Structure 1
């Protein structure tokens, strides 16, 4: 007589349609986080031996929001959020360029303000290019893996979906971003570049791992309040 136990079948993957205010709120926050991260990333930051940039504390939030959107609404809606955030970041970068190009006051104060704007926002277009390509590739991979895993496991093992997709998405994101943005930030040698990539990848991934319990709670909260979830 066989003593092997049969594992319970996974419940079908469920997703919600866009019809409540929750998606719009998360999309707005994701776009703002990406835009602010692009500005912060123009500043190189050295904390002891750690090399990073000024947007390091913000960017993981965009991926946490991406996990929530992918899990609740599915890949097509997550892709819409990624493309929309991408477009708004491009728009912000164009606005920076226009603001810098506009003629300012000719006095000493006006000149110092112009120099400050050029110093703070001038490098941003290259940072934006790096961030957008990295964000688009990393978030797309993150969302695709999470949804594919959900198709196989249904509502079970949410933690595994979040962690597994985060490792792949964050690695691609970090490698692309650092490769393009390093020269603008002031990273000039191989050792600094390797430090920058490893610190960025490990930091963002570990932050996402640390927030898995909170991310899971948020996902559960949104699922319960989305009338169309699983309908």
Structure 2
């Protein structure tokens, strides 16, 4: 049976349009998407503590992971709506903060005082020590960027219904990724060792273009995943 329009079915003025459909959380699919989203973000936060230089390009070690979090956010927003996507964002970051707290405890625990233990402690401090600041950068950036991304996607769906999925994904991605990248890089740049303005601009521009390009290239895959879940969500399928 068709799903009943929920609170994410945004009211429209003007000519009558069919309210957009969204699935309720009642199958395993949302839990799987949420788990992937959390793991991707936690790993990207660890990777982001390392500065990476590929020729003239300046980025961080989480560059290949982070766009996946936005792709998963697109899937959740399109299938389940804005309110569920917002819960996913908050849950993901609660888990990320918990992971950061665990890193702090691990570093603070007394280790072996032999040569190996000292080297291991130094390595942990260098790898995981900056992560809380990276998590703070990600928290502020992802909350703002992903919320904008989700809101635009759902708002456009209210106007287009099931049509023009590619346009919703691409339009929301540009806005969300720009806000996310600017906020994240402003906080994280000094953490990974970028201290000059030219390097900062490089970091922001490369990050924004790269993440947006990845999302654009993955639009066909994202659309297939969205279609797959829509057909199998009992509360969504018509």
TM-score > 0.5 by shorter chain: yes
Unaligned runs of 5+ in 2: 1-15
Q: Secondary structure at the match of 1:46?
A: strand
TM-score (norm 1): 0.95
Question: 2:180 maps to what in 1?
Answer: 173
Answering whether residue 120 of structure 2 is matched by residue 118 of structure 1, we say no
1:5 — aligned with what?
Answer: none
Secondary structure in 2 matching 1:33: helix
Equivalent residue of 2:53, what SS? strand
Q: 1:225 aligns with which of 217, 220, 232?
A: 232
Number of positions where the alignment pairs a residue of Structure 1 with one of Structure 2: 223
Q: Distance in 2 between matches of 1:90 and 1:147?
A: 27
Within the alignment, does 1:56 sit opposite 2:63 as a pair?
Answer: yes
| Paired position in structure 2 for 1:130 | 137
State the shift of 1:145 in Å: 0.4
Q: Distance in 1 between matches of 2:39 and 2:225?
A: 19
Residue in 2 that maps onto 1:108: 115
**Could you list the runs of 4 or more consecutive aligned residues of structure 1 that deviate by over 6 angstroms after TM superposition?**
none
1:39 to 31, 36, 46: 46
RMSD: 1.0
Corresponding position: 1:15 with 2:22: yes
1:39-85 deviation line (CA, Å, top 9, x unaligned): 00000000000000000000000000000000000000000000000
Is the 8 Å Cα contact of residues 15 and 230 (structure 1) preserved in structure 2?
A: no
- Rounded to whole Å, the distance in 2 between the matches of 1:12 and 1:213 is 25
The answer to whether structure 1 residue 75 and structure 2 residue 90 are counterparts is no
TM-score for the superposition, normalised by structure 2: 0.92
